[in-house]
Structure 1
Amino acid sequence: MTKKERVELIQTRLNEWFPETPIPLDHSDPFTLLIAVLLSAQCTDKRVNLVTPELFARASSPEEMAQVPEEEIRAIIRPCGLAPAKAKAISGLSKILIEKHGGEVPQTLAELEELPGVGHKTASVVMVQAFGEPAFPVDTHIHRLARVWKLSSGKNVAQTEKDLKRLFPRESWGKVHLQFIFYGREKCQARGCDGKRCELCQELFAR
């Protein structure tokens, strides 16, 4: 099977199994999504969704968040891990959004990546999920599956992102990235599949 054929089969099966791709992180607007994605670093979405209701009840806008003492933010988000760094970033970016962006989340990758605690992946998630801009955020599930499915031999997520962007249609990036994540979590977990056991792996490499 050629790489092109694998891509077509992957898209077909993912569309069958995951026709709907709800955003896993609970949020109400670009700001709360930005905070939720920031908190999800080295933390599960499930845990983030348990923590954010209390945080957003306390502050759900840059203006409100900028008024919350950093130590209070830290106490609320402690279950997510890396609380000191994340609290500092949340406090800092809230103030920057007010000072430089009129209290709005910027809509470019470059501006997002200038915010404290916001790396390329976080910025990409916000771009595609908050603003509908084409982006292909690569997390550990996607990076692993891209290698298992022989779509990329990238040694880092940056190279994997470039490879996947070349293989999948631009208009599908936002949906496909979530489908990869859902498949990795539900059907092809790292400890449960060696590239030969799960349904799609078998179909891809049995031919």
Structure 2
Amino acid sequence: MRKAERVDYILQRLQELYPEPPIPLDHSDPFTLLVAVLLSAQCTDERVNQVTPALFALADNPRDMAALSVEQIREIIRPCGLSPQKSKAIKRLSEILLEEHGGVVPADMEALERLPGVGHKTASVVMAQAFGVPAFPVDTHIHRLAQRWGLSSGKSVVQTERDLKRLFPVESWNRLHLQIIFYGREFCTARGCDGRVCEICTTCYPNRKHPKETLKA
């Protein structure tokens, strides 16, 4: 199967499996999404969704969050891991949103990436899921599957994002990155599939004899 055929098949099959993929992180607006995505670094979405209700009950907007102490934030988010860094970042980004953006999360990639604790992936998620701006956030699932499906070399997440954006139509990006995540969690897991087990892997590469070794992000 040629790469163009793989791309068409993957688009079609994922759309059949996940026609309306939900956003995995519970949130009510761009600010709560931003905080939730920041907390999800090296943490499962399920754990984040368990923690954020208590945090957002105290502060679901930049002004209230900035009024909390780092220690108050840290105590709530401790189960998410990396709580010392994340609590400082959440408080400081809330202050910056008040100081520089009128208390509103900016719909601007560069402005988001300048916020403490917000890298390119987090900014991309917010742009895509809060503002509907086409983006292709690459997490570990997407990075792994792009290699198994022969869509990217996997040399870096930057390269994977660039390759996927080049291969897939821009109007599919926001939905497709979620579809790949859900498929990676359900069928093409890190240990459950080695490039020779799941439906998409076996369809794209029916003659693959050896496990597909994937480079980590």
Tell me the TM-score range normalised by the shorter chain.
over 0.9
Counterpart AA for 1:195:
G
CA offsets, 1:144-179, max 9 Å, x none?
000000100031100100000000000110000000
- Counterpart amino acid of 2:139? D
Distance across 2 between alignment mates of 1:118 and 1:30: 13
Distance in 1 of aligned mates of 2:49 and 2:155 = 31
Corresponding residue number in structure 2 for 1:131: 131
1:196 corresponds in structure 2 to 196
Distance 1:154 1:50 in 2: 32
Say if 2:50 is the partner of 1:83.
no
CA distance in 1, matches of 2:97, 2:181: 30
Give, in angstroms, the shift of residue 106 of structure 1.
0.6
1:182 aligns with 2:191: no
**Alignment root-mean-square deviation, CA:** 0.7
Structure-to-structure mapping, 1:55-204, within 5 angstroms: 55-204=55-204
Q: CA deviation at 1:202?
A: 1.1
What runs of 5+ residues in structure 1 fail to find an aligned partner? none
* Partner AA of 1:51 in structure 2: V
Structure 1 residue 116: Cα displacement: 0.2
Secondary structure (helix, strand or coil) at the match of 1:89 reads helix
Q: What amino acid is the match of 2:20? A: E
Which amino acid is 2:93 matched to? Answer: L
Aligned position for 2:24: 24
Counterpart of 1:161, as a letter, is E
Q: TM-score, normalised by structure 1?
A: 0.99
CA distance in 2, matches of 1:196, 1:13: 17
| SS of structure 1 residue aligned to 2:67 | coil
TM-score (norm 2): 0.94
Instruction: Give the counterpart letter for 1:57 in structure 2.
Output: A
- Residue identity opposite 1:90 in structure 2: I
CA distance in 1, matches of 2:15, 2:166: 19
C-alpha deviation, 1:10, in angstroms: 0.4
Matched to 1:142, the amino acid is I
- Aligned-residue offset at 1:67: 0.3
What is the aligned partner in structure 2 of residue 51 from structure 1?
Answer: 51
% of aligned pairs identical? 69
Q: Structure 1 residue 206: deviation in Å?
A: 1.6
> Whole-Å Cα distance in 1 between the matches of residues 159 and 204 of structure 2?
22
Structure 1 residue 204 displacement after superposition: 1.2
In structure 1, how many angstroms separate the alpha carbons of the residues matched to 2:181 and 2:133? 19
Structure 2 segments unaligned to the other structure (5+ residues): 208-217
For 2:136 and 2:204, the matched residues in 1 are separated by: 22
Aligned partners of 1:68 and 1:49: how far apart in 2? Answer: 20
Structure 1 residue 203, shift from structure 2 partner: 1.2
